Structure 1
Amino acid sequence: MEFLTNEPANVISMPLGVTSIDDAKSAKRTGSRTLSKAVSLHLEGKRESAAKMLSKAIEAGEHDAALYSALGHIQYEMRDYDSAAATYAQLAELEPQHRTAHFNLAVCYGNMKNWKEAANAFRRAAEVDATRADALLGLGISLIHTASPAQAMEPLDKYLRLFPEHEQALFGKAVSLQQTGRPNEAVEVYRKVLARNPRCEEALSNLVAMFLERKDHESVRRYAAMLSELQPDSTVAMEAMATLAFADGDFLSAARFCRNLSEMVPDRFENWFNLGVAYHKMGNFQKAAQAYQQATLLNPMSAQAQLNLGVAHQELSDLSAARGCYEKALEVDPRQAGVMWNLALVLEQQNERAWAEKLYAKIPEDAPEWCDACFRLGYLRLLRGDYAASADNFQECLTKRPEWPEACLNAGIAYARSGRPDMAKRSFEETLVIRPDSSDAVRGLAALALEQQDYEAAYDLHRKLLELGEHSPELFYNAALICQKRGQTEDAVQLYQQALNENPQFAEALLNMGHALMAMGQEDEARSFWRKAIREKPELAQTYFEPPVA
């Protein structure tokens, strides 16, 4: 709500402080011929001529207070607030106790939006004329505009003691209460304003804002509806309804409100950004991208808009466009963890893993994306063979999120490949504590058991994998090899057969099946499997005369 307007007849909704120049008592008192002529010119509508005459008289040495007062009034009527303020300042200097000079000077400052000087002049006006209550109202309003709502309370309260139902004073009091963190009292005063004037859009707007902040959605809905009824194109009401729609998960309605806002105020960044968010939430990434694009044109320095536009492009599988947006966002703010995270993901998809690694490593530990970034960093280092560093990354993840089975499993893999079987075993076992049905963890333990030639443990672990529903030919093959090592030839034959049922061209399984059958005295069958094995993979002929190796 504007407390001071540029309308001469309605300055801060109070009686004008500018004394009318056609005041008969004033003319009679001064007996000034200049003033009389100025009055005549003014009555004829010749304000500029009247102002020139008064200015020349003052410059010529006529320092009658009435001349200054008349000149200031005419300049104010002509909306030349700078000149009027200068004239009233001269009058106040000429007669420091002049009854209207300080007040009128304050009104001019208010129209110039010079609230600090307006407050000083209103304060002086109240000192000069203690009966001038409108100076108290002006002082309170000016102090609100100078972000001094606590100081504004005293003059407004004094004014309300004299005029308890004055709408603008009540409104100013409500604003002061709102800005000083006394929302309940502010609401009550705003309601008093509405009781006097149900069509006060400013009071309704402020109530909407307050109840939005308090998340009182029913009250927001009520006052926003009242505001919309008064002003169908009220952006405050429409923004409130959009906010409620977002909160309710009604993104279709949110998009409708935001689209209306963007059409009503097309040069406002927030309208397009919010429209993009609504479409994004609906899964309409094409329209989201269009809205975000418009937002970035209005505010190219918004890293968040560039980030959201990049995400929309990424959802549309336009990785190049997404990457461009993320890179622009980082130019705006190189510390944006969310941007680094998304750009790194795109770089991974574009096989630029080295750069992705660097970005993941730059994400700060206090960022929400840090854990996931640390995991991806560990994974990339695992892929390129930096197993020690990879294991460290996965352990850092577990420090923050101890119940993370994937991090625990990958730590085990990294430890195993870096030659630290004890640490690997512990990680795989911890994975099984978190996720007992993790076949990957059992497979890791089985591989460790085989490497350490602990065939008893390896056999049990492979049987567990089978119980977990794993049926890959490699699993059956490894289980069969273990059985052969343990002398369980018949079991080995059954498992080799299951491996071959899954993959009849599994050359190693064919070869070792032959060895197992030969050990059981089934020479013809053994030779048949060997022939098939060598047909599938001729180089196996070199190991034809060797026993199977796990």
Structure 2
Amino acid sequence: MNLVLQPDQKADVVARAEAQFAEGAYEDALNSFLSAASLDSMDLTARTNAAVCLERLGRWTEAADLLQQTLETHPASPEALMGLAICYLHLENPGKALEALEPLYAATPVPGRARFAKAVALQLLSRFEEAIEEYREILTSEPDSAEVLANLVAIGMATAQEPLTREYSERLISLQPESTSAIRGLAACALWRQDYEEASRHCGSLVELVPEDTNAWFNLGISLLRSHHPLEAAKAFLEAMRLRCDKAQAAAVIAPALRQCGALEDARACCEQGLSEQPGNTPLAMVLAGVLEEAGDAETAAQQYTKVLMVQPENTEAWFRLGCLRLAQEDPRTAFEAFQSAVRLRPEWLEALLNLALSSWRAGDLEEARQYYGEAVRLHPGSLEAVRGLAGIAIELRRYDEALDLHGRLIDLGDSSAELYFNTGLLLDKTGQREDAVRLYREALALNSQFSEALLNLGHVLKALGREDEARAVWLQAAHSDSCSVDSVQPLRSGAVFDRLS
């Protein structure tokens, strides 16, 4: 709001107030205008100008109170209403600002300042479509209003409207080539389109103009990482980390990004820096454990997961990762305990159930492994891995009829690998179903014509059936590859560790 000149310039107090205001001495000008208002309780101009001084001093609540008092005696004062609306906007009360502006909309035409203030209030209330309409109305008479264009860019970014953001960013940058609002908008558009090369150019321009902008550095890192420039990306992420005051919160975001860049040492240092500020930050401790795990420091990673679990024993992810590490270290019993804790907390977690079964299997407890694979199948009937596990256990227990049924179930579930058909053929052969064994070996060979073990075993079955000419033909084909006859059924991928989380 601007100063309103007194119609009567004779009063020394008013002249002094106006001079003080012009010099920027707003506190002195405030006292002088209040003195003038005290001499005449109906002096609208003195009160309004005192409110302007309060606004310049950032004392928005006091300014609003004074303008409210002014409106009690002058309810239709445009200056008081406009000033009150501005105060409410600064006080983050856009609803009250709209109420103050409502009388001004009765004028024809609507004052431009009132329309802009209303658009800002609507924007703060997230009534974006109405705000856009008001801003566009302003642009019909002020097409080069940088402030309006910047606010439209902000709405476009807040609502992820790429065409809107691009349109007004391009208009704004044509007026102000170094407009940070326009550059941010263009960078956002490029990121939405996944044009990371262009995004990195805009973000690079932004950090040159505003080198302390943490978000710009972070977005630059993302753009460089996804446009396959990991070293430059890591530098950008580290700069974002350096600028952030809240190191722990920043590290929780930046360390995983550094990890994606392959900068594991930097990611570790980033986590440790954050944890030195907030030792009890469990999410960050989990990030550090993951970084250590990826760097190959399995034992330190396991210790880190154990520390997390001491503070947060219900952390299922920590139990799961600890189990995976112990299983990889060939410690199946400790792994079993970790996976058992994960399953106790999340009984239907498929990957944890599968790894729990695998831990039992590797510890030599086949019946226990069978129990957990069975539970996985009960809860997830369509799980190929669970059925494979049961089939593998059945084979080790020499329950070939059961294993054969399970292999048939795998086929029904859509597993059509050459290895599965080969295993099924072996099982059929062992249970005396040789004609069916021939059919399954041929299914395997249809998928992999150079599957030498299938060729050799097919020859053996054909010979046993008295079809020696066919047997010699397939053996001749097998002779062109290094192979040996397979006389035991091999479980299909039943020993895989499932290290993904769900």
TM-score by length of 2: 0.71
Match of 2:28?
83
Match of 1:352?
299
Task: Evaluate the alpha carbon distance shift between residue 458 and residue 160 of structure 1 in structure 2; reply closer, same or farther with a 3 A threshold.
Answer: closer
Match of 1:57?
none
Q: Counterparts of 2:261 and 2:158 in 1: how far apart (Å)? A: 35
Task: Evaluate the alpha carbon distance shift between residue 223 and residue 363 of structure 1 in structure 2; reply closer, same or farther with a 3 A threshold.
Answer: farther
Structure 2 residue 197 is the aligned partner of structure 1 residue 252: yes
Deviations 1:444-489 (A, max 9, x none): 4434x1xxxx57679979x999973799xxxxxxx9xx99xxxxxx
Q: Is the 8 A contact 2:44 2:74 kept in 1?
A: yes
Match of 1:468?
419
Post-superposition shift, 1:155? 2.7
Q: Given the alignment, which residue of 59, 81, 104 partners 1:136? A: 81
Q: Is the 8 A contact 2:234 2:261 kept in 1?
A: no
Match of 1:374?
319
Match of 1:310?
255
Q: Counterparts of 1:365 and 1:188 in 2: how far apart (Å)? A: 53
Which moved further from structure 2: 156-165 or 425-434?
425-434
Deviations 1:139-158 (A, max 9, x none): 22122111222112233221
**Partner of 2:347: helix, strand, or coil?**
helix
Unaligned runs of 5+ in 1: 5-10, 28-65, 472-478, 484-500, 503-550
Q: Given the alignment, which residue of 341, 357, 363 partners 1:412? A: 357
Identity of aligned residues (%): 28
Q: Given the alignment, which residue of 217, 224, 242 partners 1:272? A: 217
Structure 2 residue 157 is the aligned partner of structure 1 residue 212: yes
Q: Is the 8 A contact 2:255 2:270 kept in 1?
A: yes
Structure 2 residue 334 is the aligned partner of structure 1 residue 386: yes
Which moved further from structure 2: 122-131 or 186-195?
122-131
Q: Counterparts of 1:214 and 1:362 in 2: how far apart (Å)? A: 42
Q: How do 1:184-203 residues align onto structure 2 when only pairs under 5 Å count?
A: 184-203=129-148
Q: Counterparts of 1:245 and 1:329 in 2: how far apart (Å)? A: 31
Post-superposition shift, 1:365? 9.2
Q: Is the 8 A contact 1:412 1:424 kept in 2?
A: yes
Task: Evaluate the alpha carbon distance shift between residue 317 and residue 103 of structure 1 in structure 2; reply closer, same or farther with a 3 A threshold.
Answer: closer
Q: Given the alignment, which residue of 116, 119, 123 partners 2:68? A: 123
Aligned residue pairs, count: 412
Larger Rg computed on CA atoms: 1
Q: Is the 8 A contact 2:230 2:262 kept in 1?
A: no
TM-score by length of 1: 0.65
Structure 2 residue 236 is the aligned partner of structure 1 residue 291: yes
Which moved further from structure 2: 135-144 or 102-111?
135-144
Match of 2:492?
none
Structure 2 residue 384 is the aligned partner of structure 1 residue 435: yes
Q: Counterparts of 2:262 and 2:231 in 1: how far apart (Å)? A: 11
Match of 1:17?
4
Task: Evaluate the alpha carbon distance shift between residue 430 and residue 320 of structure 1 in structure 2; reply closer, same or farther with a 3 A threshold.
Answer: same
Unaligned runs of 5+ in 2: 411-416, 432-451, 454-502
Post-superposition shift, 1:224? 1.6
Q: Given the alignment, which residue of 181, 192, 197 partners 1:236? A: 181
Post-superposition shift, 1:281? 2.3
**Partner of 1:165: helix, strand, or coil?**
coil
Deviations 1:97-141 (A, max 9, x none): 334221110111121122112222223333344564222211221
Post-superposition shift, 1:80? 0.7
Q: Counterparts of 2:419 and 2:308 in 1: how far apart (Å)? A: 35
Q: Counterparts of 1:373 and 1:244 in 2: how far apart (Å)? A: 37
Match of 2:484?
none
Letter in 1 for 2:176: Q
**Partner of 1:266: helix, strand, or coil?**
coil
Structure 2 residue 181 is the aligned partner of structure 1 residue 222: no
Q: Counterparts of 2:173 and 2:113 in 1: how far apart (Å)? A: 22
Post-superposition shift, 1:226? 1.5
Q: Counterparts of 1:163 and 1:386 in 2: how far apart (Å)? A: 80
Q: Counterparts of 1:467 and 1:269 in 2: how far apart (Å)? A: 53
Q: Counterparts of 1:164 and 1:334 in 2: how far apart (Å)? A: 61
Structure 2 residue 349 is the aligned partner of structure 1 residue 422: no
Q: How do 1:54-133 residues align onto structure 2 when only pairs under 5 Å count?
A: 66-130=11-75, 132-133=77-78
Letter in 1 for 2:372: S
Match of 2:285?
340
**Partner of 1:386: helix, strand, or coil?**
helix
Post-superposition shift, 1:221? 1.4
Letter in 2 for 1:401: W
Q: Counterparts of 2:178 and 2:348 in 1: how far apart (Å)? A: 50
Q: Counterparts of 2:55 and 2:273 in 1: how far apart (Å)? A: 43
